[in-house]
Chain A
């Protein structure tokens, strides 16, 4: 992590070495992060990892013990939530039950003393954006979960905040509605160009919506990157495990050549992995990961030009609809998961079949160097 004093501060939100403990429990152990204007950034991590605390510190509901939080370059530590130019979408929407949709949405504008006419116009505009025209007079109790979610969005966005903070906003919706709202959120964010900071523990949600994902674990950032980078080149074992299925092999490097590590296992079996920017030399112990859908299953007799080749025995086959999942015990001892499309080209292997696993060097990554 770079020195916080030299960091650019033209970001919409800038966290600099932020720490927060509750009693003896460290919730956030030193997080630095710049969030660009108009970016959709996701804080992804398991419950209790500090992602919600981080968001609440941006909103002003918690104060950091150490570090700085800049909103458009202004340090807001110590500024109460009502004086911060960010708005939040709460997990259970927190709509005011005694107010109509109109009153809920215009609450923030009223507090900012926006004149009545403009208020009307902006509320109508925003209800159009979230597709709730005609619901102005309804009370929250008369709306479905998805509609309540839209009101919560409109209520926050109508204030045109520097950033919108969303705390697991889709957690309370059923799967179908959740998928639909994911698309909606992306559309709304695109339409308004607002910075979105999105907290979730759902890796699929994070991968499908974010411009960048910040994976948080035990109060620290594990990796920041575009969804594809985080998924395909996880920086740590935790990321590999949390985002997707962890397929990890403990091996010893035999040779390092042209930015690639070669591990010879037997005459016909070897692994090739890009070094990335890791300090690897012959003899180094490595943890290597490969994504399940990047592995090909072949019969032992098949010729292959793939970089990596590993033999094993199928232990279990699980049919998942679009995908079929194979659990394969390799000669290295570790069990690998392989995903195969359940289409006409499916290999049709069953339990106890001897197979060969192959993949290209670029599809594997080093997770850890001992």
Chain B
């Protein structure tokens, strides 16, 4: 019998699910609690509620600088990656061409290359060519890492946009560019937004490659790592983490809600057509 259907099976699946949720989210919950604990050492007992750590990090210019660097790198990375991923996805979904398998393999390979290897390789490359390390070099590294994620986000959406919509546009007198602008891009927009957010998050988070090629302007996660040596800074770091997490949760949830609303619109059309042809 299918364990998802039998009564005992269902119960153990629920227990498994509960454990999963606890291990995923309990640490985050503890983090939030400690960010308000008025004590330098991150441990119980609770010593009273405070905004002290939040106040302190707002005045920590090194930390704010690292945040700015990361924001810059992540913005640059996500814009460039998405701009590259759109034509790449269209090519993979809409066209048949020589060595398509090899090309898609090359585009998606960064998914499986160990980041340490990639970081060292980039460092050697930049040194050899003579490009000084900066937030820009970090962005270059992040674009390569993030490109497959952006492509994999857009391809399924693109596959659901019927080719005949683009053909209808051509038929009515639109050239290829106009068709892309008026038909393909608006319908692809939710996936573009998702890709943008995913890439931004990947870049904002990334430590391994950045640690090799960031030069003397650390990104935010690099700065956090460097601060772990100083126990008195830890509560501040926690407070920043909570802020970043809250902001990113809000953005992700908002975009997901938006995507679902847009999706439902497409789905209604598809369902209607199915109903009609079934009837």
User: Which residues of A pack against B, CB within 8 Å?
Assistant: 59-61, 80-83, 87-88, 90-98, 107-108, 111-112, 139-141, 143-145, 148, 155-156, 159, 171-174
Chain B residues lying within 8 Å of A173, measured Cβ to Cβ, are 276
If A87-B171, A87-B172, A90-B168 are given as contacts, then 7 extra A-B residue pairs at C-beta distance below 8 Å, sorted by A number, are A80-B175, A82-B171, A96-B169, A96-B182, A96-B183, A143-B272, A159-B173
Q: B172 touching A97 by the CB < 8 A rule?
A: no
- Within 8 Å CB of B273, what residues of A? 92-93, 145, 148, 172
Contact A141 B268 (CB under 8 A): yes
Give every chain A residue within 8 A of B162 (Cβ-Cβ): 92, 94
6 contacts between A and B (CB under 8 A): A90-B167, A93-B273, A95-B168, A107-B169, A111-B173, A141-B265
Does B165 belong to the interface (CB within 8 Å)? yes
Max chain A Cβ within 10 angstroms of own Cβ: one of B165, B172, B273: B172
Report the nearest A residue to B167, measured CB to CB. A61
In the complex the two chains form, is A108's CB within 8 Å of B165's CB?
no
Q: Give CA–CA (A97, B171) in the complex, Å.
A: 17
Minimum-distance CB pairs A-B, first 7: A145-B276, A108-B172, A141-B268, A111-B173, A94-B168, A94-B164, A174-B279
Whether the pair B168, A172 counts as a contact (CB closer than 8 A) is no
Q: Known interface pairs A98-B186, A111-B172. Does A141 touch B272 (Cβ–Cβ under 8 Å)?
A: yes
Task: Please report which residues of chain B, range 248-279, place their CB below 8 angstroms from some CB of chain A when the two chains form the complex.
Answer: 265-266, 268-269, 272-273, 275-277, 279
Tell me if B's interface is mostly helix, strand, loop or mixed: helix
Residue of A nearest to B276 (CB): A145
Q: A88-B168, A140-B269 are in contact. Are A111 and B183 (CB under 8 A)?
A: no
Find out whether the CB atom of A80 lies under 8 angstroms from the CB atom of B170.
yes
A-B interface contact total, Cβ < 8 Å: 92
Is B178 engaged at the interface, CB distance under 8 Å to the other chain?
yes
Contact B173 A96 (CB under 8 A): no
Task: State whether B164 touches A59 (Cβ < 8 A).
Answer: no
**Chain B hits for A98, CB < 8 A:** 186-187, 265
Contact in complex: A82, B167 (CB < 8 Å): no
CA distance A51 to B138 in the complex (A): 55
Q: Is the CB of A90 within 8 A of B164?
A: yes
A112 contacts across to B, CB distance below 8 A? 173
Measured between beta carbons, the chain A residues less than 8 angstroms from B91 are none
Complexed CA–CA distance, A171 and B276 (Å): 10
Chain B residues near A97 (CB-CB < 8 A)? 165, 187, 265-266, 269
| Nearest CB of A to B271, in Å | 9
Q: Is the CB of B265 within 8 A of A171?
A: no
For chain B, the count of residues having a C-beta within 8 Å of the partner chain is: 27
Min CB distance, B205 to chain A, in Å? 33
- Most chain B CB neighbours (cut-off 10 Å) among A60, A88, A143: A88
Q: Which of B168, B169, B276 contacts A174 (CB 8 A)?
A: B276
B183 to chain A, nearest CB (A): 6
Residues of B within 8 A of A140 (CB): 269
Question: Is B109 an interface residue when CB atoms closer than 8 A count as contact?
Answer: no
B174 touches A (CB below 8 Å): yes
Give every chain A residue within 8 A of B167 (Cβ-Cβ).
Answer: 61, 81, 88, 90, 94
Chain B residues 129-174 with CB under 8 Å of chain A are 162, 164-165, 167-174
Distance to closest chain A CB from B108 (angstroms): 28
- B171 surroundings in chain A (CB, below 8 A): 59-61, 81-82, 87-88, 156
Contact with A along B89-119 (1 / 0, CB 8 A): 0000000000000000000000000000000
Cβ contact within 8 Å between A139 and B265:
yes
Query: With A139-B265, A172-B277 in contact, do A81 and B170 touch (Cβ < 8 Å)?
Result: yes
Q: Which residue of B lies closest to A152 (CB)?
A: B168
Q: List, in ascending order, chain A residues with CB within 8 A of B268's CB.
A: 141
Q: What's the Cα separation between A12 and B183 when bound, in Å? A: 30
CB distance from B279 to the nearest CB of A (A): 4
Complex CA distance for A159 and B169, rounded to whole angstroms = 13
Residues in chain A near residue B276, CB distance under 8 A: 144-145, 148, 172-174
Residues in B whose Cβ lies below 8 Å from that of A93: 273
Among B167, B171, B272, B276, the one with the most A-chain Cβ atoms within 10 Å of its Cβ is B171
Q: How far apart are A78's CB and chain B's nearest CB, in angstroms?
A: 15
Chain B min CB distance to A238 (Å)? 28
Please measure, in the bound complex, the distance between the C-alpha atom of A60 and the C-alpha atom of B167, giving whole angstroms. 10
Is B174 touching A111 in the complex (CB atoms < 8 A)? yes
Nearest neighbor of B165 in chain A, beta-carbon distance:
A94
Q: Which residues of A contact B169 (CB under 8 A)?
A: 96, 107
**Roughly how many angstroms separate A95 CA and B269 CA in the complex, as a whole number?**
9
Partner of A141, one of B168, B186, B269, B279: B269
Q: Chain B residues near A108: list those with CB within 8 A.
A: 172-173
Residue of A92, A156, A172 near B164 (CB, 8 A) is A92
Please measure, in the bound complex, the distance between the C-alpha atom of A93 and the C-alpha atom of B273, giving whole angstroms.
9
Which residue of chain B has the shortest Cβ distance to A98 in the bound complex? Answer: B186
B269 / chain A contacts, CB cutoff of 8 Å = 95, 97, 140-141
